[in-house]
Each structure stands twice: as structure tokens, then as C-alpha cells.
Chains A and B, each alone.
Chain A
Amino acid sequence: MRQSIFQKLFHNEKYKNQQFSEKDSSEEIAVKKQTISTNLNENLEIFSKLYLIPQNNDVNIRRFLVQGWHKEAALLFINTISDTNLLEEQVLKPLSKNEGTFQSVEDIVTAPGIKRVQVVEDVLIEINRGNAALFIEGDQQVYITSVSNFQGRGIDKAENEVVIKGPKEAFNEKANTNISLLRKKIKTESLIVESMTISKRSKNEVYVLYIHDLVDHELLNKVKERVTKINVDSIQNLSMLEQHIEERTKSLFPTILYTERPDRASSFLEDGYIILLMENSPGSLIMPATFWSFFHTSEDHYLRFIFGNFTRALRLLALFITLFSSALYLSVTNFHAEMLPPDLLLAISSTREIVAFPATIEIFLMEIAFELIREAGLRVPSPIGPTIGIVGALILGQAAVQANVVSPMVVIIVALGGLSSFAIGDIGMNFAVRLSRFFLILCASVFGLYGLTAMFSIGLFYLLSLRSFGVPYFAPMTPKYTSGNDTVFRSLVWNEIFRPGYLKPQDMKKTGDVSNGEKQGQNRN
């Protein structure tokens, strides 16, 4: 009995090769591979079948007569994703009013983008992308005019990576807009936008962006290889793609950076990183990513040297408070009470005296309660949001203490740790820190300060073992690389001479000899 449970739990590999009753689609595939015939009706028949017209409501076939040639023609398009006004203006009107007999389609149609395709499959791809297909009686070509018009929201402010001083615009769900935002910041012919289709059924496209004469091509090939190796039906967006291409899928710590800020993405591009964009993703994936890229925000560089480093110091402090506050409380009160100042010791002792649970359980209760409030607060519909706040604050802050379930000191400790965790902006790193905190608490409750330091050391060893696309997680701090030395603290802007050496960029230096305004003035004199 027990054996079988274990087998079910840990031997799920065999389910992967199970046979399912699936429908054979080889007939349909054969249809898609054939070329377009000269018979218009035959062609339309094929497509009506594929698109299930007329059940399929928004796929339209518009038949009309081309005056000059006296030929029947038809336009096939999906009206919800194409611009019908444009279609009428640039394709329908010119064709139906045309009276000349010798012009080709390209001469008559005024749309800027037009191309010819012959295979049914290719036509389908174009129509699915929102373009219109023009069939003409007796013609073996299908003319594709680009009139696609997908609906989406406009450019909004960045919501998760807020800055005070710096650009406010964020990526949205349209890849074209996102590329445009990046091109706006990097005006060079070396910025390459490659597109790759990665999924079989939904045909999702990934755009790989890099600066051709900066990026290490070995790294680029590694990224491309990993992207092309994916073999799935659908990858909806970057968040899903990230899980397919990352190196350690079960690791606590993220190895690919996700950002919704085009300015941040472009600054990474300019350093020789590689960026992935996708339709439907209001963000970008940056690789390779180091610990520092998760620790930094773009504002660190937008603020002046001292202010920027002050926020870095605060963030570092917040990181350690989140990691250690609860664990340190536990280990000090349970194992090393002599470390506390006498007044604090007696105060903690007196409040603990009437609490029913051991300190460890007390801490876990509060930590879990805090995580619950956080998760519930995130998912709660906005009209009842304030309720959560009141209930959370009242129950956890006030009533729990009065009911002697937790001591006030624990409320302070857990709240401080929870609050500090918000200073780590990146969601991946945020989760990693919050979860590793529980390991530290566990170790501290069993072994005291010794356990705490041992667990922290083990954690550090683990972090040092991580790699993102071959780049060590703590580079350039350890192992040491030539770089702008942008790790815990950043240096002066004109002292950041080098691009990160661990990326092996084709051009290492990013500043000239004189990049400081003051020095420049001296040179002129």
C-alpha cells in the first residue's frame, strides 16, 4: 500500500508516455501543404472549410469584380484583427474602380506592404496575423496586404517598478509598441530585432533583441538555441517562456530578469545583454541576469551618486532585515538571552510570560498570517480591499496581542520584516528572500545563532553555485571581472568605464578618456 503511494508520488514519468485517444489530423495537414489553384471558388471552398465559415463569425469573405480585368476577386480577412477602413481605402476601392487592363495588382493596390504567397499554410499564417488575403480568379498567387490591427491598451505608466526621477512609460502587450519604445532609446542600425516562432499550434513569436556589434555571439547562440529547442503547442507570454528557458527551474532564486521598463531594458542592451520580447507580455526578459541585476533598480542610476547609493544601502538593510529579523529574534530569545539589554530582556520576558505558544510557533503564526494578508490583499477585488486592511490590522495587530496569542514584540519583528521585504522590488528576488527567510527561522529555532549563521553560509554557497547562461550569479564581485563595479554600491557615472566583462562584449569601454563635465572644461582652457 505504502509502496504504491510512493510510486504514484515519485514515478510520474510513466504517465508522460501514456496513449491517449487523439484525432488524426493528417488530412487537414495535407490540405494546408497544397498550393493555391487558379479557380477562385475552389480556393474559397478550401478556406471556408478551414475557417468553418459561416459558423466562424468574424472571418469575412468579400467578393467583388475587378472592373478593368473583368475578373472575380475575393478578400479574405478576420475583421476583429484587421483595419477594415484601411482595407476599403487601399485595396477595395482602387481595385473595383480600376479601369486599366495591364497593371499588376501591386500597381493598383495602394497599401504599403504587399506580398505574394502560394501555399495555403502561408496564407493562413498571414490571415491569422490580421492581414487580408486577396484572391483573383485565374491567378495562382495570393496577395497579402498588411492591414492588421490588434486591439490592446496604450502605453501606460510602469506600475510595479515605480521611479520618481526618470521615464515613466512602460512596455505594453503589443510587441511592436515595445520594440518602438526601445528603438526610440537606441537609435542605431546595430540594434537587431530577430523574430522566431516558438510554439507549434499557437505560433507564438519571440523577438530577440541585441546590439549586433556589442553582444557576444556565443552567448547569443546559446540563448537562441535554448529558445528554439522548446517544443510545445503554445507559449502565451514571457512569464511562461522564462520557465521554459531558465537554467534551474526548481531553484528559489531567479536567473532571468523580467522588467516592464523600456529604459531599463535598453540600458541592459547597451551593455551587451540580450532581450526577449513577446506579443501579449507587458515586459521584457533580460539575460543573463546576476544577483545584482535583481538587487538594483533603474532609479539607483537616475538619482545622483550619493542619493542613489543611499537607496542602495537602505535596500541592503531591508534585505537583511527581511532575512534575519524573525530568525534573530528567535535565536536570541531562546538561546542567547544575555545578548539583550536588560530592560529589553525583561520586557520580552514579561510579555512572553502570558503567551500560550513557544516563541517558534508564535513567529510562524505571525509570518504565515502576514503572508496570507499579502496574498489575499493581492487577489482581493478592489471594492472590498479596505476590508482586508481593517480586518488584517485589527486581528493581527491588536486582538492577537490582547488575546495572548502572540506577544507585541513578535508583531513588531514580523511586521518590520514583512515591510522591509517590499523594498526588494523584483518579484522573483522578493519571493526568493521571503521563502529563504523560513529556512533561516527554522534553523534558528533549532540551533540558535549557530544554526542561523550555518544556514546563511549554506545559502551563500548555493548562490555562488548558480549560473545564468554561463555567467556566475555574483559576477562581477566574485569571481572578479572587469566591469563598471556596479554591485552593492555604484560608482560615479564617469567612473563606470567598462561594460560587464562577464558578458565578453565586443567593445569593453563605454566612456572616452574625458567623460566628466568638469574635466572637459579644464581641457578646453
Chain B
Amino acid sequence: MRPLVKSILSLFLLVSLSGCWDQTEIDMKAFVVGIGLDKGKNEKINVTYLIANPEYGSQQGGGSTNEPATETITFEANDLIASRNLANTVIAKEISYDLLSVLIVSKELASDKNFIRWMYDTTKDREIKRNTPLLITEEEASKFIEENDPKLETRPHKYFELMFEHGTETGLIPKSDLIKYFRITEADADLFLAVFGTNKHRGGGKKGDGYLIAGEFQTKGKTNKTNLLGSAVFKEGRMIGKLTGEETRISLLLNDTADLPDYLTTFPDPFNKKFRVTTKIVKKGKNKIDMLYENGTPTLKVNVPLTIEVLTDHSMTNYGKNKVKRDRLKAYLTTRITDKINRLVTKTQKEFKGEPFGWSLQARKNFLTIDEYEKFDWMKTYPNMNIDISVDIRFGEFGRQSELPKLERVRD
């Protein structure tokens, strides 16, 4: 036989012997969008799959199906890798984590001392991406998934993608990727913040916007009950507490590893107690952190530069024109914000005995060797540190039109 025939035959044999190992036709996969993890019996976990229906709402020309957008299934499994095959006793298609866009864990499981063991399973599976967000729920994850019923973003991957994207922009929830969880847990110096959500309504939300945590925010109308607000605090890979929406925002202000924040928030009007001023807080630069090491107790000096835009002026003060009042407003805001930050810092020192601000990263610069830093033991030393917070406020614009008419003349 000629060499050409030989080579073609051998190529054919080669191909038939090998190849196509991990080939799966795209329509033969069931795409899991969300995995819910709950505590089961005997160190097992209850796994909930939220499976997207590709046929739902994918046809532009109106040829949509009567099938629902999602399918959910909950069962007991050893881990979320073995569960892939178990699910196939019910689900017809091969389970795929390619589209996984949220990992939902109940508060109960997250607080378990063994939680970290299951979390590291996600590093083992090839299909789970490290940028998958982690969501902690007040109730059981399976219940959360079942009762989550978005009215307009009915396709689940879109719903979670948009919720996390805009939630982190407003700062009411932190950005909580798996990679961040692993990094902070392994560095063993800071605390990790995960998104906290629920679709239970507890009520008791009288404290005003931003002071709340998920479940306290009151809404009316026909909409989804789910709300994501505030954060769950993780120390050494295990949940130890919660932060409200406002505390989450402040902790992101203090954290230079977070995206530069841009928040809308209100303060009581210093010139008229009846009203509140709405402001936009923008952080344009990085914090300045100095560590002083005197008389045994280290002191951390943190300077937070903020740009504040005053967007409402219900007391008709006309800040843009009035320097004296502007200075009074600045002094007022500085003490108020510093006060709030101090309160959070004290809370982290006393309650959590650790900080979620990523300060350990900047403090490392003050040590000559890694050994020295490790000996210092940031996590242990933090609760006893003197933290000296100062806030620098610069005013931005006072709304698009800074001037307001004189009230007396309008009412005349």
C-alpha cells in the first residue's frame, strides 16, 4: 500500500480510538443556573438545583413554549459533585454547571463549623467558575429558590446577573465571588463579606433606608418578595454575623480592594430638622493608611477622601451661594460620617474581632519581612488596635441647577 493510504488509515484509526472524550452536544445539557446548599442529616447536604429552560423566551419571533422558565429539584447528597449524577435520576439531560451564576447557601449551613469543607468542593469541579457569586439566605436555600419569583426577569441567569450587578453598584450588597472567599479565608487576616438575601418579610423596618438588612425592607405592589440587602460576615470561612445595608456601604468605603463606590444616601438636614438632605457620595481616590507602632499598641490612621454632591435642598438653604452654610454643612457631614465609621469599626473590633476592610493588605507594607507580618498576627491584634479615622470632604456640584428661588418671593 502506498504511504498516503497508510497514513489516512492510521489517522482514521487514531481518531476512532481517541477524541470526542468530553464532547456533549449543547442541547443535551441541563444548565444549572443556581445551586442551593442546605444542612442535611449526618454531615450531608441538601442540594437544590435551579435549572434554566433554554426554550423559554429565547425565540424572538414569538414562538415561545408553554413550559416554565425554570425547574427546581432538591435532594440529599454528599457534596455538589456527586449530586450531578444523582440528579439525573430525575432530570433527563446531563447536568452541567457551565452556566452556574449563583451559589446560594442557607445561614444555617454557612454558620456550621464544617461549612468550609463543602466550599472547597467548588474548587474541585472543572465547570464551576471562581467568579460565581455567593449568596447567603436567611431561610433555607431550597425555600429561597422555590419562592423567588421575579416578575419580569423570568429567565433566572439574567435575574441573578442583574441583581448582583446593580446591587454591588449601589453598595447595599458587597461583591462576593468565590475567589474572594478563598483568598480572604486563606490569607487569614480579614473578614469576608457575602451577599445576604431573603424572601421572608420580618417587618420592623422603621429605621430609614440603608439601615436595614434583608427582610426588613417594606414594599407594596405586585413584585418579587426576594430582596438582597446587607451582608453576611465570614471569619475563617464560616459565617459569624451580619451587616446592615448601611454598614456594608461603609465597609466598602473603607475597603480599597472594592470598586470605587458611588452612593445615593440621605442625612438629616442640619438647618431644618424636619427635612433630610440627599447626597451622592463618591470616592475618587484611595484611602490613606498609616500604621504607627508606639508603646506596644499599634495605631492605624485611616484617612478617607470623599466627594459629596448635595442633590436636594428642602430647607432652601442655597449651599452653592452661601459659603458659611456650606462650611457648616461640611463640618456636620464630617463628624456624622466619622461617627458612623467609628461605630462600625468598634463593632468589628468588639463583635467580630476582625475587619472586613482589607486593611491587612495595606498594612503589610509596614513590615520588612513576611515572617515579621505573620508574627504580628493581624487578626489577633486588630481588636486591640487604636483606629484613628478621619474623613476629608470635598463638595462636588449642588445638583444640576445649584440655585433655588427665595421661598418668600415664590409664596408671595
Task: Determine if chain A interacts with chain B.
Answer: yes
Residues in A lying within 8 Å of B, measured CB to CB: 6, 10, 333-335, 337-338, 342-343, 345-353, 355, 358-359, 446-448, 451
Asked if A359 and B25 make an inter-chain contact with CB atoms under 8 angstroms apart, the answer reads: yes
Q: Which A residue sits closest to B99, measured CB to CB?
A: A342
* B15 interface hit (Cβ, 8 Å): yes
Asked if B23 and A353 make an inter-chain contact with CB atoms under 8 angstroms apart, the answer reads: no
Complex alpha-carbon distance, A337 and B97, angstroms:
10
CB contact between B22 and one of A10, A335, A345 (< 8 Å): that residue: A335
Please choose the segment from B53-61, B193-201, B392-400 that sits at the chain A interface, where 4 or more of its residues have CB less than 8 A away: B53-61
CB distance from B35 to the nearest CB of A (A): 15
Q: Which B residue sits closest to A338, measured CB to CB?
A: B98
Which of A6, A342, A347 neighbours the largest number of chain B CB atoms within 10 Å of its CB? A342
Residues of A close to B49: CB separation below 8 A: none
Q: Type the 1/0 row for B267-278, where 1 means its CB is closer than 8 Å to any CB of A.
A: 000000000000
Q: How many residues of B contact A (CB 8 A)?
A: 30
* B157 interface hit (Cβ, 8 Å): yes
CB contact between B19 and one of A348, A358, A446 (< 8 Å): that residue: A446
Asked if B26 and A334 make an inter-chain contact with CB atoms under 8 angstroms apart, the answer reads: yes
Q: Given A343-B158, A345-B98, A345-B99, verify A10-B27 contact (CB < 8 Å).
A: no
Residues in B lying within 8 Å of A, measured CB to CB: 1-2, 5, 15, 19-20, 22-27, 29, 31, 52, 54-56, 58-59, 96, 98-99, 101, 127, 129, 155, 157-158, 161
Given contacts A343-B157, A351-B58, 20 further A-B contacts (CB under 8 A): A337-B24, A337-B26, A337-B96, A338-B98, A342-B99, A342-B158, A345-B99, A346-B31, A346-B155, A348-B26, A349-B26, A349-B54, A350-B54, A350-B56, A350-B59, A352-B26, A353-B54, A358-B25, A446-B15, A448-B22
Residues of A close to B54: CB separation below 8 A: 345-347, 349-350, 353
Q: Given A334-B24, A343-B158, verify A350-B55 contact (CB < 8 Å).
A: yes
Q: Given A10-B1, A350-B55, A353-B55, verify A342-B27 contact (CB < 8 Å).
A: no
Closest 9 CB pairs of A and B: A352-B27, A350-B54, A349-B54, A446-B19, A338-B98, A346-B54, A350-B58, A333-B26, A353-B27
Asked if B19 and A334 make an inter-chain contact with CB atoms under 8 angstroms apart, the answer reads: no
Residues of A close to B29: CB separation below 8 A: 337, 349
Q: Given A10-B1, A349-B29, verify A334-B23 contact (CB < 8 Å).
A: yes
CB contact between B23 and one of A335, A347, A351, A352 (< 8 Å): that residue: A335
Complex alpha-carbon distance, A338 and B24, angstroms:
12
Asked if B26 and A345 make an inter-chain contact with CB atoms under 8 angstroms apart, the answer reads: yes
Q: Which A residue sits closest to B101, measured CB to CB?
A: A342
Residues of A close to B52: CB separation below 8 A: 346
Complex alpha-carbon distance, A421 and B2, angstroms:
34
CB distance from A437 to the nearest CB of B (A): 18
Complex alpha-carbon distance, A70 and B101, angstroms:
110
CB distance from A276 to the nearest CB of B (A): 31
Complex alpha-carbon distance, A446 and B13, angstroms:
13
Q: Which B residue sits closest to A355, measured CB to CB?
A: B27
Q: Given A338-B129, A346-B52, verify A447-B19 contact (CB < 8 Å).
A: yes
Complex alpha-carbon distance, A6 and B6, angstroms:
12
Asked if B26 and A359 make an inter-chain contact with CB atoms under 8 angstroms apart, the answer reads: yes
Residues of A close to B59: CB separation below 8 A: 350
CB distance from B21 to the nearest CB of A (A): 9
CB distance from B160 to the nearest CB of A (A): 10
Residues of A close to B31: CB separation below 8 A: 345-346, 349
Complex alpha-carbon distance, A355 and B25, angstroms:
11
Residues of B close to A343: CB separation below 8 A: 157-158
CB distance from B58 to the nearest CB of A (A): 4
Q: Which B residue sits closest to A344, measured CB to CB?
A: B58
Complex alpha-carbon distance, A177 and B183, angstroms:
77
Residues of A close to B27: CB separation below 8 A: 349-350, 352-353, 355
Q: Which B residue sits closest to A337, measured CB to CB?
A: B98
CB distance from A348 to the nearest CB of B (A): 6
Q: Which B residue sits closest to A351, measured CB to CB?
A: B58
Residues of B close to A6: CB separation below 8 A: 1
CB distance from A516 to the nearest CB of B (A): 47
Complex alpha-carbon distance, A343 and B23, angstroms:
21
Complex alpha-carbon distance, A334 and B96, angstroms:
13
Residues of A close to B20: CB separation below 8 A: 446-447
Residues of A close to B98: CB separation below 8 A: 337-338, 345
CB distance from B103 to the nearest CB of A (A): 16
16 contacts between A and B (CB under 8 A): A334-B23, A338-B98, A338-B127, A342-B157, A345-B54, A346-B31, A349-B29, A349-B31, A349-B54, A350-B27, A350-B56, A350-B58, A353-B54, A359-B25, A446-B20, A448-B22
Residues of A close to B56: CB separation below 8 A: 350
Residues of A close to B1: CB separation below 8 A: 6, 10
CB distance from B85 to the nearest CB of A (A): 19
Complex alpha-carbon distance, A231 and B23, angstroms:
53
Complex alpha-carbon distance, A359 and B26, angstroms:
9
CB distance from B348 to the nearest CB of A (A): 36
Complex alpha-carbon distance, A351 and B55, angstroms:
8
CB distance from A342 to the nearest CB of B (A): 5
Residues of B close to A333: CB separation below 8 A: 25-26
Complex alpha-carbon distance, A334 and B22, angstroms:
8
CB distance from A46 to the nearest CB of B (A): 52
Residues of A close to B15: CB separation below 8 A: 446
Complex alpha-carbon distance, A451 and B129, angstroms:
24
Complex alpha-carbon distance, A347 and B27, angstroms:
10
Complex alpha-carbon distance, A451 and B22, angstroms:
13
Which of B31, B127, B129 neighbours the largest number of chain A CB atoms within 10 Å of its CB? B31
Q: Given A335-B23, A349-B26, A349-B31, verify A10-B2 contact (CB < 8 Å).
A: yes
